[in-house]
């Protein structure tokens, strides 16, 4: 079958580092067009990564009738605007996480695309890796019994003031950048939505972005998720699920390599074992899954409603850190 022609908004370093090479193996997606506000930059990016077309504005790319869908790796504060503009152009949207700056914006984006009949999906690549597919299967099968708690840590050390993650005006900060993973894995493993949140948060005195935050998600009946995220800490990532019948940990939960097996450690009353998943690139799986849903004209594998619920949990983190007390998670 003919591949879907993808348009990319922005000459993204993330795309260069993590997406461009895996997509060479895709049977469903062809990088076709890239846009930048700097035409020369777009032209060089296109030459480097094999795009046929390069544009000096995002709007010009969206006007190209050959573009079958759009990938948005733009800074967080531009997501809502270009999700809407993509929908206006009739282009399905795969948008980098977080979908928007807050749940209100995410719900607005989801409703806008739904009204226009345009597929919209948040690009949570980890959900497609075989290690996480297997982890979710083990939880659903009840191998851990009832999941009573999850623990997570996701940190890196980046003090570059010019980096987009350290710019408050662009939606930078730890909670939006990596806290979204903590919220997503918590909701996946706990099998529902948190009722309320307590949190602490520290901001950089110069950047004004949040650089260290810890949170408790209360799911009721004493079931909780706890996590810490930071943009100025030694790099660490781990996720652990603890249940009435066993525990599970994911060795490299998020920045998983595409050339080695994933590893889960599962401990039950029977024994402790290491479960290795197939070697796979989660970005290739993400883009192919989205493209397949377009080709088959079925719902995208991660509905926009999930992104809205995830943002609602993050909104509660900010609210709880500000109030110093428990804050309810809004429902949309």
CA nearest to 119, candidates 153, 88, 92:
92
Average pLDDT over residues 247-252: 98
- State percent of the chain over pLDDT 90: 99
pLDDT in tens, 172-231: 999 999 999 999 999 999 999 999 999 999 999 999 999 999 999 999 999 999 999 999
User: According to the model, what pLDDT value does residue 38 have?
Assistant: 96
Average pLDDT over residues 27-51: 97
User: According to the model, what pLDDT value does residue 201 have?
Assistant: 98
Cis bond upstream, residue 98 (ω within 30)? yes
Cα separation, 100 vs 72, in Å, equals 11
Average pLDDT over residues 49-59: 97
Model confidence band, residue 157 (pLDDT cutoffs 50, 70, 90)? very high
Catalytic positions: 97
Q: Is the pLDDT of residue 1 over 80?
A: no
Cα separation, 179 vs 73, in Å, equals 17
| DSSP secondary structure letters along 61-129 | HHT-TT--EEEE-S-GGGHHHHHHHHHHTT--EEEPSSSSSSHHHHHHHHHHHHHHT--EEE--GGGGS
pLDDT in tens, 293-326: 999 999 999 999 999 999 999 999 999 999 999 9
User: According to the model, what pLDDT value does residue 166 have?
Assistant: 97
pTM assigned to the model: 0.96
């Amino acid at each position: 079958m003919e591949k879907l022609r993808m348009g990319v908004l922005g000459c993204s370093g993330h795309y260069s580092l993590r997406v461009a090479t895996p997509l060479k193996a895709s049977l469903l997606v062809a990088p076709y067009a890239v846009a930048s506000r700097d035409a020369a930059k777009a032209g060089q990016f296109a030459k480097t990564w094999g795009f046929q077309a390069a544009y000096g504005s995002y709007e010009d790319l969206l006007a190209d009738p050959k573009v079958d869908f759009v990938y948005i790796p733009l800074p967080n504060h531009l997501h809502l605007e270009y999700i809407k503009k993509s929908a206006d152009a009739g282009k399905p949207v795969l948008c980098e996480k977080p979908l928007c700056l807050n749940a209100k914006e995410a719900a607005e984006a989801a409703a806008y695309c739904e009204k226009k009949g345009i597929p919209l999906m948040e690009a949570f690549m980890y959900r497609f890796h075989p290690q996480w597919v297997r982890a979710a299967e083990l939880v659903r099968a009840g191998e851990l019994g009832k999941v009573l708690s999850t623990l997570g840590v996701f940190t890196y050390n980046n003090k570059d003031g010019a980096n987009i993650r350290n710019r408050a005006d662009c939606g930078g900060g730890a909670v939006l950048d990596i806290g979204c993973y903590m919220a997503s894995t918590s909701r996946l493993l706990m099998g529902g939505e948190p009722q309320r949140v307590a949190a602490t948060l520290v901001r950089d005195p110069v950047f004004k972005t949040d650089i260290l935050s810890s949170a408790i998600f209360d799911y009721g009946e004493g079931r909780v998720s706890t996590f810490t995220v930071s943009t100025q800490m030694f790099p660490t990532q781990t996720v652990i699920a603890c249940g009435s019948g066993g525990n599970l940990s994911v060795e490299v939960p998020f920045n998983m390599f595409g050339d080695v097996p994933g590893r889960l450690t599962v401990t039950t009353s029977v024994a402790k074992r290491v479960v290795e998943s197939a070697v796979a690139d989660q970005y290739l799986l993400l883009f192919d899954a989205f493209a397949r849903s377009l080709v088959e004209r079925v719902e995208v594998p991660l509905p926009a409603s999930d992104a809205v619920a995830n943002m609602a949990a993050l909104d509660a983190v900010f609210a709880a850190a500000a109030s110093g007390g428990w804050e309810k998670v809004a429902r949309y």
